[in-house]
């Protein structure tokens, strides 16, 4: 609008700059915008660390994948991206993992964890994290197990059943290992279904979830018989040879709970306290039975206890102390096929501790095994015991005659489980590589040459775990964790036979084989 000669006029850039200057200005502006935009993309895609090392909980929450994995423990922030494919942190990336970390690793943060520290939460986020942790620690609602049948009831032999733990679905998938056909599912049995034992006749399964629910199921019908809560964070189970009592090892509360197998009533609770100082309570590590006795590894106390269920009050009758070195922890356990030796993993100094279960005397501490051994459920052939390692790409072969390392067998990666078939004519053991760089691989080991003779990849880039033989030894089942499949292989030709849909499958147990193996 014109205002006359006396009005104030507006001057535009084109009135003040030459055409060349205008072009240069436009280019500079475009470059600045592009650079800012590219930085925004970079900051979005990649982990950008605050140079001051102070983060909000909201910032941590955005780093929630294995490719960009941050975790909070006790208010500190850790970048576990490099470890996410082989470390359990991958299942809680972007969250406060304090409770889970301490349940698995003890009351203090280990030095090996601190190398991944990049900073800490701001004060407001620390308060919020504690509030969230307190809310999540409350006891959950009671479970209501229910079964769904896929075939007519009673058309299977319980001893042939393959019990598949569907970790995140709170369920067990039950498959007939004779026909490789799913027969049913038992749902709502607790959070993070973990492991089970079977009655000596194979009629009942007793399953423990990590949130402490013990469920009894009739394998003739798949009907749940009863439930009892034995803790808030449970791990191992064992059942006496007579089938009278079940023991459950807890992380929280720190004790072994003994339950009447018939009624599911709690008979006694045995606190795992270091009686040398009367202060330190320990989580329960490996737990197995030997006859009517239970043997438990005290994870944090470097001790093994023997509990006698035939004596009044079910006392602890033997205690073995100072296993390994200061700072070590005892993890899982394994009983040899003849039941005469108990082995427990000594993690830290990388040893396997051996107890003679006839004389109840220490037999050996086997050194030189693979880093962070994982003994259970174990595999044997002749005089050789095979032990996986969680932090090294090897299976350790131990000679029972000398209790020395026979060989470190190179595999595709660090693993959790190794299994063999209890027949001397079958010359292979199968091992997973679940925590290695090739977590999708199953390695078949020749027991005579102690070499890997076959590498099987069920589903590329998906974690393959827990090979388990069918009762007749014809097939091997493999769970693909994250791939929602069970792969079935011919045990002799190693060829794929079939696949079965499952929901986050992890552990697998065959009923007939497990009831014949001591300690399982």
Report the candidate in 468, 425, 460 with the shortest Cα–Cα distance to residue 439: 460
Tell me the average pLDDT across 213-238.
97
State the pLDDT at residue 9.
34
State the pLDDT at residue 271.
95
State the pLDDT at residue 36.
44
State the pLDDT at residue 520.
61
Question: In which band, very low, low, confident or very high, does the pLDDT at 101 lie, cut at 50, 70 and 90?
Answer: confident
Residue 8 has pLDDT above 60, yes or no: no
Residue 375 has pLDDT above 70, yes or no: yes
* Backbone φ, ψ for residue 135 (5° rounding): -65, -40
- Compute how many other C-beta atoms are within 10 angstroms of the C-beta atom of residue 298: 29
Residue 32 has pLDDT above 60, yes or no: no
Residue 40 has pLDDT above 70, yes or no: no
Tell me the average pLDDT across 125-142.
64
Place of tokens 């629910």: 213
State the pLDDT at residue 2.
35
Residue 120 has pLDDT above 80, yes or no: yes
Higher per-residue confidence, 298 vs 65:
298
Are the beta carbons of 234 and 250 closer than 8 angstroms? yes
Tell me the average pLDDT across 188-205.
96
State the pLDDT at residue 66.
74
State the pLDDT at residue 81.
84
State the pLDDT at residue 102.
75
DSSP 100-166: HHHHHH-SS--HHHHTTEEEEE-HHHHHHHHHHHHHHTSPPPPP--EEEESS-TT-S-GGGEEEEEE
Q: Please give the angle made by the CA atoms of 446, 449 and 453, to the nearest 5 degrees.
A: 40
| Summary mean pLDDT of the chain | 87
Distance of CA 264 to the CA centre of its chain: 26
Percent of the chain with pLDDT over 70: 84
State the pLDDT at residue 17.
45
State the pLDDT at residue 205.
98
Poorest-pLDDT segment among 86-100, 357-371, 417-431? 86-100
Question: In which band, very low, low, confident or very high, does the pLDDT at 47 lie, cut at 50, 70 and 90?
Answer: very low
Tell me the average pLDDT across 112-140.
74
Residue 277 has pLDDT above 70, yes or no: no
* Backbone φ, ψ for residue 239 (5° rounding): -135, 135
Question: In which band, very low, low, confident or very high, does the pLDDT at 49 lie, cut at 50, 70 and 90?
Answer: low
Residue 135 has pLDDT above 60, yes or no: no
Task: Report the C-alpha gap between 91 and 266 in whole angstroms.
Answer: 33
Residue 220 has pLDDT above 70, yes or no: yes
Poorest-pLDDT segment among 56-70, 227-241, 494-508? 56-70
Residue 361 has pLDDT above 80, yes or no: yes
- What is the arrangement of strands in the sheet containing 475-481, beginning at the earlier edge strand? 463-469, 475-481, 485-490, 496-501
Tell me the average pLDDT across 418-436.
94
Query: At 13, is the secondary structure helix, strand, or coil?
Result: helix
Task: Report the C-alpha gap between 191 and 168 in whole angstroms.
Answer: 7
Tell me the average pLDDT across 172-183.
98
Question: In which band, very low, low, confident or very high, does the pLDDT at 407 lie, cut at 50, 70 and 90?
Answer: very high
Question: In which band, very low, low, confident or very high, does the pLDDT at 43 lie, cut at 50, 70 and 90?
Answer: very low
Question: In which band, very low, low, confident or very high, does the pLDDT at 82 lie, cut at 50, 70 and 90?
Answer: confident
Report the candidate in 491, 478, 490 with the shortest Cα–Cα distance to residue 432: 478
Higher per-residue confidence, 123 vs 90:
123
Higher per-residue confidence, 275 vs 178:
178
Confirm whether pTM is higher than 0.85: no
Poorest-pLDDT segment among 258-262, 306-310, 376-380? 376-380
Query: At 26, is the secondary structure helix, strand, or coil?
Result: helix
Residue 287 has pLDDT above 70, yes or no: yes
State the pLDDT at residue 180.
98
Fold of 54-136: Flavocytochrome B2; Chain A, domain 1 (3.10.120)
Percent of the chain with pLDDT over 90: 70
For 464-519, write each residue's pLDDT tens digit: 999 999 999 999 999 998 899 999 999 999 999 999 999 999 999 999 999 998 76
* Backbone φ, ψ for residue 337 (5° rounding): -60, -25
Higher per-residue confidence, 18 vs 216:
216
């Amino acid at each position: 609008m014109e205002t006359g000669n006396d009005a104030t006029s507006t001057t535009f850039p084109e009135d003040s700059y030459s055409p060349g200057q205008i072009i240069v200005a436009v280019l500079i502006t475009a470059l600045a915008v592009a650079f800012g935009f590219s930085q925004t993309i970079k900051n979005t895609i990649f982990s950008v660390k605050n140079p001051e090392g102070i983060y909000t909980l909201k910032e941590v929450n955005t780093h929630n994948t294995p490719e960009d994995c941050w975790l909070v423990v006790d208010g500190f922030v850790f970048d576990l991206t490099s470890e996410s494919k082989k470390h359990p942190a991958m299942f809680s990336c972007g969250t406060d993992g304090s409770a889970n970390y301490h349940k698995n690793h003890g009351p203090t943060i280990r030095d090996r964890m601190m190398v991944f520290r990049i900073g800490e939460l701001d004060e407001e986020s620390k308060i919020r994290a504690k509030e969230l942790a307190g809310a999540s620690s409350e006891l959950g609602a009671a479970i209501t197990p229910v079964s769904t049948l896929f075939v007519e009831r009673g058309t299977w032999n319980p001893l042939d059943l393959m019990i598949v733990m569907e970790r995140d679905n709170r369920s067990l998938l039950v498959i007939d290992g004779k026909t490789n056909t799913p027969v049913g599912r038992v749902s709502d049995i607790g959070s993070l279904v973990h492991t089970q034992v079977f009655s000596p006749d194979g009629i009942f399964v007793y399953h423990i979830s990590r949130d402490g629910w013990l469920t009894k199921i009739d394998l003739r019908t798949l009907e749940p018989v009863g439930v009892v809560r034995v803790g808030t964070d449970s791990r191992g189970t064992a059942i006496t040879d007579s089938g009278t009592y079940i023991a459950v090892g807890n992380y929280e509360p720190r004790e072994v709970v003994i339950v009447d197998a018939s009624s599911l009533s709690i008979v006694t609770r045995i606190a795992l306290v270091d009686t040398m100082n009367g202060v330190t309570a320990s989580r329960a590590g490996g737990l197995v039975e030997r006859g009517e006795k239970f043997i438990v590894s005290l994870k944090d106390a470097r001790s093994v206890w023997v509990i006698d269920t035939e004596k009044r009050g079910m006392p602890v009758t033997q205690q073995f102390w100072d296993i390994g070195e200061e700072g070590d922890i005892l993890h899982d356990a394994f009983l040899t096929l003849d039941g005469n030796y108990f082995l427990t993993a000594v993690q830290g100094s990388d040893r396997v501790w051996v107890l003679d279960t006839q004389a109840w005397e220490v037999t050996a501490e086997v050194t030189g095994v693979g880093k962070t051994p994982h003994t259970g459920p174990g595999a044997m052939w002749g005089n050789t015991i095979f032990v996986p390692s969680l932090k090294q790409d090897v299976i350790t072969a131990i000679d029972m005659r000398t209790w020395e390392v026979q060989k470190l067998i190179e595999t595709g990666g660090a693993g959790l489980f190794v299994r063999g078939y209890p027949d001397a004519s079958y010359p292979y053991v199968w091992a997973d590589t679940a925590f290695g760089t090739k977590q999708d691989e199953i390695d078949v080991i020749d027991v005579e040459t102690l070499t890997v003779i076959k590498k099987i990849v069920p589903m590329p880039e998906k974690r393959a775990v827990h090979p388990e033989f069918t009762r007749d030894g014809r097939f091997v089942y493999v769970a693909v964790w994250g791939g929602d499949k069970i792969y079935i292989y011919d045990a002799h030709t190693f060829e794929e036979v079939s696949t079965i849909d499952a929901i986050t499958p992890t552990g697998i147990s065959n009923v007939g084989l497990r009831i014949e193996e001591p300690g399982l």
